[in-house]
Amino acid sequence: MFPQRRCLIQWTPTPLVSITINTSASLANDRFPINSYFQTAIWCLRLTIAAQCVGISGRYLFGSFETESSIYGLLFFEYGLSELTAQFIDDFGVYGCLIAGATILFNGVFADLPKLSQSEKPAKLILAIDFVALAFVAAWTLSMGIAQTIRGDLFAKFTLLEEAVRIATPAVLVVLLLGRKIGTGSLCRVVGTIVLLVATSTTFALHGYKAIELYAPFLDYLLLSQPFGLPLVTEQQTAERLLGVIGWLDVGLAILLLVFRWQWIALYMAAWGLLTAFSRITAGGMEAWPEVFIRAANAGAPLTLFFLFRMNLRSGNTIKYRSDQFT
């Protein structure tokens, strides 16, 4: 038989001050990626909105196929305003979006400067300018959607739902900026995430529905697209079948995103939204560049959701981590 040995364990209590310091350091390390995700989400929204504004101005001012917006048509044809008045209002909105988009970008740069962000008056001024610019973009985008709904084709009645991400992105950025300023970041982050989640799911579901219904422009994008000079689809029947599969996939992923909030779905939607936006160029040539920019939210909104999901996940881990420290 082996001789029995006693093992003496000596326990030395850790000072309370030492525990507090270690916990604070761990929390600081966890907050760093959380703040990084938040800042990335903010900048993703800023870039998305600015690109969307460039697309609006490009479509109605600088594009090769320059036209008037649906607001012009509504004011001139439906409400009987003079052509000069309708054109002035249309130009005011389009130029206003271009200026607002540039302002939102520049404000983002100024807001991140340490001297300005730590000074109360400049920070308040930047926030106020942001609110005005974002409110203008949201109002004009919403107005274009309403005008298209009134004057559009068979699918126009779904315009506001289809363009939900274009309308929601400025509103979500306002909510996130406001929460950071008044100290209710957690609540505003949740509200912003929910709004963007519903808008993204709605837009993708409506695009999926139009694809299932074999929306003619979608078929044209498939049949006419030639990336790198190679045609994607050459037969009408094949294009219709492929479009149906794409439509059901969009609807299914929109539902899954809304119910389960999976990060990989948001990331896939961002990539798919960017790809479908660029199909305007592959089908119509470089002259269609405004149509790519104006659909920036189709990629930017789900990409922002991805970062918000990551941030919320890390926030949840931080809360759990903090409770474990005192167990």
pLDDT digits (tens, 9 = 90+) for 284-304: 889 899 999 999 999 999 999
pLDDT of residue 183: 61
40 pLDDT above the threshold of 90 = yes
216 pLDDT above the threshold of 60 = yes
Q: For 45-58, what is the mean pLDDT?
A: 96
The pTM for the full model equals 0.85
Each residue of 225-268: pLDDT tens digit? 888 777 888 899 999 999 999 999 999 999 999 999 999 999 99
Rg for the chain, CA atoms, rounded: 25
Q: With cut-offs at 50, 70 and 90, classify the pLDDT of residue 318.
A: very low
pLDDT of residue 34: 75
What is the 8-class DSSP label of residue 230? Answer: -
Cα angle, residue 147 at apex, residues 142 and 153 outer, rounded to 5°: 120
Do the Cβ atoms of 34 and 317 come closer than 8 Å?
no
pLDDT of residue 325: 32
SS3 104: helix
Do the Cβ atoms of 170 and 141 come closer than 8 Å?
yes
pLDDT of residue 68: 82
325 vs 247, more confident: 247
Q: Which of 20-29, 47-56, 61-70, 140-149 has the lowest mean pLDDT?
A: 20-29
15 pLDDT above the threshold of 80 = no
44 vs 33, more confident: 44
pLDDT of residue 276: 95
169 vs 68, more confident: 169
The torsion angles phi and psi of 61, rounded to 5 degrees, stand at -130, -45
Chain mean pLDDT for the chain? 85
> Tokens for 148?
């298209």
pLDDT of residue 58: 92
Cα angle, residue 294 at apex, residues 280 and 218 outer, rounded to 5°: 35
Share of the chain above pLDDT 90, in %: 65
CB atoms within 10 A of CB 244: 15
d(CA 236, CA 100): 42
pLDDT of residue 33: 72
Q: With cut-offs at 50, 70 and 90, classify the pLDDT of residue 41.
A: very high
Each residue of 72-130: pLDDT tens digit? 999 999 999 999 999 999 999 999 999 999 999 999 998 888 766 667 788 889 999 99
d(CA 109, CA 122): 13
* Structure-token match 């604070």, residue found: 24
